[in-house]
Amino acid sequence: MKKVDLVIIGSGAAGMAAAVEAKRNGIDDILILEKDERLGGILNQCIHNGFGLTEFKEELTGPEYLQRFVEQVKELKIPYKLNAQVIDLSKDKVVTYSSKEDGLVKLQAKAVIMATGCYERNAGAIMLPGDRCSGIITAGTAQRYLNIHGLMVGKRVVILGSGDIGLIMARRLTLEGAKVLCVSEIQPYSAGLNRNIQQCLIDFNIPLYLSRTVSKVIGKDRLEKVVLSAVDENLQVIPGTAMEFECDTLILSVGLIPYISLLNYIDCPTSSAKGAVVNQYMETMINGIFTCGNCLHVHDVVDFVSDEARLAGRSAALYIKDKINRNANRINVKPGNGLSYVLPQFILEDSLEDIVIKFRVRKPVQDQIVWIRSGETIIMKQIKPVMIPSEMVMIKIPKEKLAGIKEDIIVSLEDR
Amino acid sequence: MKKHIHDVLIIGAGVVGTMIARELSKYQLDVVILDKNNDAGDGTSSANSAIIHSGYDPEPGSLKAKFNVLGNAKYPKLVEELDVPFIQCGSLTIALEDEQIPVLKELMERSKLNGVEVSLLNKEEVLKMEPNINPEVKGALFAPTAGIIDPFNLVVHAMENAIDNGVKFLRSQEVLDIKKEDDIYKLKTNKEEFYTRIVVNAAGLKSDKIARMIEDIDWAITPRKGEYYLLDHYAYGLVNHTIFPLPSKKGKGVLVSQTTSGNYIVGPSSEPAEADDVSTDTFTLNNIKKAAMLMVPSIPFNQTIRVFAGERATCTRHDFIVEYAKSDNHFINVAGIESPGFVSSPAIAEYVVETLIRPLITLRSNPKYNPCVKKYHRMFYLSEEEKLQTLKENPNYGEIICNCEHISLGEIEDALSRSCPPVSIKGVKRRTRAGYGKCQGGFCQPKVLMLLAKHYGVSPTQIPLAEDGSYIIDHEIKEGK
């Protein structure tokens, strides 16, 4: 079996940044495996701008952003394989991939970084009520048809879910000549970034209905009609509130889920963020298997993906050089009041770096104190005027502040 | 123009129609099979529990009981010949209350009358076989001959095999009118006219409508809709057998079963519905969930990847109809084939051909008849060695199109090259499982669509999701490509 120090699965924003960082930290024997025919992952189809404000201090499109990383990968001569789908990953880090060129190949890796991104929740996952006609499509798939293949999925469109891809597609389809009738969001607040609400909906006079969802789709062969109904605080449809929209397309932007089948198959523990449980090195509960980016938790900004991936790349390099003390005490990090998830989920004592705690709030909140506590000890206290679920919160804890901490760390919110 | 007269024309390419077509292809006959849809097995055959029932449940003496038991025995050989995934996993019909134990005993008596091997299990035995069953279980009826099958490939492969043996299959042909002139039937469809000596009506939900085209009938189809959940394949070992509650008047009730692809299926409901209504609704699905969790409390419904509905061709006669029309023995009705239809279909087909058609026409053996389809290379089911051999013969089996189910280009190209090829995204999905996983085609649908468009030499706007008219792409943008 061929041996490789570091195998990186996926060459999107996470995979490439992790590879570059691992290389810069002294790992030469790297292989990136990409299932698609080009590097860059989903960024290839994100032709809108708004990328790179943190990473490059300028506003780039998705393809421009990924190109900066492709250049680094090429400059550093990091090997990669395209059209190579990983079909199995074992606990002892044997990676099996399949490609037309190489057939079925097994590689023994010292460390693996999972950077496989996410997939879209679809009509099945949300149990969309009504007929099984065509014209119901997830936002990312519609985006791929349009931006990669030059194919439009419809003329009169309703969008369910106000996630960022849905908002971006509302604008994109409008610019391409479609009539976007409305965006419907089941929650009482938008799931997308405020800048996208402004630039993609308000600027184009597209109405956003909050606390409304699709109660029925109607169509024999192709979609003919969508019924939107109001929902109560338990998200249940309120009878008698139906609004009907004649349309040929329903775009679903109802959430992204980390795409980690490979980890599920080996029973790698997962968190409420739906990715793997990780420590501060972005290492999963399986030694030497690291993960980062949208397959760990879904990010709102790609720049943060790249940053998180560098940590995974750096850590994998440390792991390969046996510089992580794996026998160190383990301290759990748990989401407390008001949080939907927190990351990392555990910390190995004697951290080599400062630790960035990342979390999301359950619902929009104002004037909060974020407490980071371990038993009676207050590790950090920060005041946040506004937090919304669509924006990830990051708080850096200097490693000195963790010295002597033994008990579980709880991150929680309190009204000021 | 001289009119072409077929020997037998079959209306409906569901599991019943295709099995009859295959049975007829053993003989030197001119057989044509029509379907109103654009693929074989697109109606009731595509959305059901996919259970090969043992036969303990139907009323003794009924056609259901007879064909079920005969059909079940045919399956091990049939699935070999047609290369269809099939697992004889056995079924457990469970009693959750002490008062239900006598009912199990009644079912056991019924099994004996039907000639089905079963055994009665006590609580401990049930929990040993199925640790995830409700610990309140009181006992169960174990039927070892029950099995699960890939329903899509059973129908498609039966069709493929029949075509390979000389049957003609025509899609998107809806029969609008039937007349008999000089001992020859003339059928008008939405597209053309057909002439035939014998008609087999296997039109499923529309079989009463077809039967009424030649005479008054004393039965009708009253469709009953069944909704289902399909779960992903991570909940290993949730159940190892098909789990049934005690049957009721409405049917066999909500079952929990693994599928041949390692997914789990939960359902069906049973409510009257209009023909062709395969919509789902939250209320019914919630009821299914409650009923299923009574039997298996730990079903991970958060692993749901799809909900769907199918319709049973329930008949007012409450039994299968497999008989000559009252006014003419050259018109054969095969109707009301609801559960246990799948398992019964090969036995029904044999009866239709050997008992009903043989007296009407000379049956000479087809010397070219081959009962087997060309072997399929499904990478998912192959051993490491077989995989490497397949890749050596055709490297396209290494190019993965469907990320979730790891379906290769080679498998899709193979399906397209066969005698009953897919014409839609759904057709590809049913044959190969591409798009069957948790992303539901989110990643692979564009790839499959482009492959279909290229294969048929048409614009991507011409490729349907399922039926004709269910287009996915509205138009190509000028700047594209």
CB spacing of A140 vs B442 below 8 angstroms:
yes
Share of residues in chain B with pLDDT > 70 (%): 99
Among A348-352, B56-60, B86-90, B214-218, name the one with the lowest average pLDDT: A348-352
* Among B71, B476, B79, B138, residue whose Cα is nearest residue B294: B138
Report the gap between the CA of B207 and the closest CA in chain A (Å): 21
Residue type, A45: Q
Q: Is B382 on the interface with A (CB under 8 A)?
A: no
User: Alpha helix locations (H) across A252-394?
Assistant: 261-265, 302-320
Q: Is A176 on the interface with B (CB under 8 A)?
A: yes
Mean pLDDT of the region B116-145: 96
Q: Give the separation between CA A411 and CA B126, rounded to whole angstroms.
A: 45
Estimate to the nearest angstrom the gap between the alpha carbon of B342 and the chain centroid. 6
Q: Is B463 on the interface with A (CB under 8 A)?
A: no
> What is the reported pLDDT for A193?
86
Q: For tokens 């039109």, what's the residue?
A: B203
Q: Give the separation between CA A308 and CA A281, rounded to whole angstroms.
A: 10
Mean pLDDT of the region B260-280: 92
Pair A106, A1: CB distance under 8 Å: yes
> What is the reported pLDDT for B1?
60
CB spacing of B446 vs A101 below 8 angstroms:
no
Instruction: Record the tokens describing residue B251, joined without a space.
Output: 């049917």
Does residue B455 have an active-site annotation? no
**Quick one: angle between helices B15-24 and B151-164, nearest 10?**
30
Query: Which bin fits B172, alpha (ψ -120 to 50), beta or left (φ > 0)?
Result: left
| Number of C-beta neighbours around residue B294 at 10 A | 14
Q: Is A249 on the interface with B (CB under 8 A)?
A: yes
Chain A residues within an 8 Å CB radius of B282: 127, 129, 237
Length in residues, chain B: 481
Assigned fold of B379-462:
Arc Repressor Mutant, subunit A (1.10.10)
Same fold, A1-120+255-324 and A328-416: no
Q: Give the separation between CA A93 and CA B67, rounded to whole angstroms.
A: 52
Q: What is the mean pLDDT of chain B?
A: 95
Architecture of domain A122-254: 3-Layer(bba) Sandwich (3.50)
Q: Residues B53, B157, B241, B330: which is the catalytic one?
A: B53
Assigned fold of A1-120+255-324:
FAD/NAD(P)-binding domain (3.50.50)
Output B2 or B293, whichever has higher pLDDT: B293
CB spacing of B469 vs A221 below 8 angstroms:
yes
What are the φ and ψ backbone dihedral angles of B392, each rounded to 5 degrees? -65, -40
Domain residue limits, chain B? 1-86+149-220+313-375, 91-144+222-312, 379-462
Query: Which bin fits A62, alpha (ψ -120 to 50), beta or left (φ > 0)?
Result: alpha
Q: Give the separation between CA A288 and CA A5, rounded to whole angstroms.
A: 11
pLDDT tens digits for range A363-401? 999 999 999 999 999 999 999 999 999 899 999 999 999
Assigned fold of B1-86+149-220+313-375:
FAD/NAD(P)-binding domain (3.50.50)
pLDDT tens digits for range B197-215? 999 999 999 999 999 999 9
Distances (CA, A) of A287 to A3, A30, A93, A264, A316: 17, 18, 9, 15, 10
Question: pLDDT-derived band of residue B480, with 50, 70 and 90 as boundaries?
Answer: very low
Task: Show pLDDT as tens, one digit a residue, over chain A (416 residues).
Answer: 999 999 999 999 999 999 999 999 999 999 999 999 999 999 999 999 999 999 999 999 999 999 999 999 999 999 999 999 999 999 999 999 999 999 999 999 999 999 999 999 999 888 899 998 999 999 999 999 999 999 999 999 999 999 899 999 999 999 999 999 999 999 999 888 888 999 999 999 999 999 999 999 999 999 999 999 999 999 999 999 999 999 999 999 999 999 999 999 999 999 999 999 999 999 999 999 999 999 999 999 999 999 999 999 999 999 999 999 888 899 999 999 999 999 999 999 888 889 999 999 999 999 999 999 999 999 999 999 999 998 999 999 999 999 889 999 999 999 99
Q: Give the separation between CA B452 and CA B463, rounded to whole angstroms.
A: 7
Q: Is B393 on the interface with A (CB under 8 A)?
A: no
CB spacing of A141 vs B304 below 8 angstroms:
no
pLDDT tens digits for range B377-403? 999 889 989 999 999 999 999 999 999
Q: Give the separation between CA B75 and CA B81, rounded to whole angstroms.
A: 10
**Quick one: angle between helices A139-147 and B445-456, nearest 10?**
40
Chain B residues within an 8 Å CB radius of A237: 282
Estimate to the nearest angstrom the gap between the alpha carbon of B219 and the chain centroid. 24
Nearest to B474 among A138, A154, A220 (CB): A154
CA triplet B311, B262, B470: central angle to 5 degrees?
Answer: 45
Q: Is A67 on the interface with B (CB under 8 A)?
A: no
Residue A125, helix vs strand vs coil: coil
CB spacing of B278 vs A132 below 8 angstroms:
yes
CB spacing of A100 vs B399 below 8 angstroms:
yes
Pair B82, B373: CB distance under 8 Å: yes
Domain residue limits, chain A? 1-120+255-324, 122-254, 328-416
Report the gap between the CA of B408 and the closest CA in chain A (Å): 9
Residue type, B479: E
Nearest to B400 among A87, A101, A134 (CB): A87
CB spacing of B279 vs A249 below 8 angstroms:
no
Pair B159, B13: CB distance under 8 Å: yes
Q: Which residues contact B383 (CB under 8 A, 6 or more apart)?
A: none
Residues pairing with A80 in the sheet = A32
Q: What is the largest CA-CA distance in chain B?
A: 73
Q: Is B279 on the interface with A (CB under 8 A)?
A: yes
**CATH value of B91-144+222-312 in 2.30.29.30, 3.30.9.10, 3.60.15.10, 3.40.50.620:** 3.30.9.10
Q: Which residues contact B14 (CB under 8 A, 6 or more apart)?
A: B35, B40, B41, B42, B43, B44, B45, B155, B202, B204
Q: Is A251 on the interface with B (CB under 8 A)?
A: no
Question: pLDDT-derived band of residue B3, with 50, 70 and 90 as boundaries?
Answer: confident
According to DSSP, the β-strands at A30-33 and A80-81 are: parallel
Tell me which residues of chain B, numbers 398 to 437, contact chain A at a CB-CB cutoff of 8 Å: 398-400, 403-404, 406, 408-409
Task: Tell me which chain A residue has its CA closest to the CA of residue B393.
Answer: A103
Q: Is A259 on the interface with B (CB under 8 A)?
A: yes
**CATH value of A328-416 in 2.170.130, 2.60.120, 2.30.30, 2.60.40:** 2.60.40
CB spacing of B304 vs A125 below 8 angstroms:
yes
Mean pLDDT of the region B76-82: 98
Q: Which residues contact B437 (CB under 8 A, 6 or more apart)?
A: B232, B305, B402, B403, B404, B405
Residue B481 has pLDDT above 50, yes or no: no
Share of residues in chain B with pLDDT > 90 (%): 93
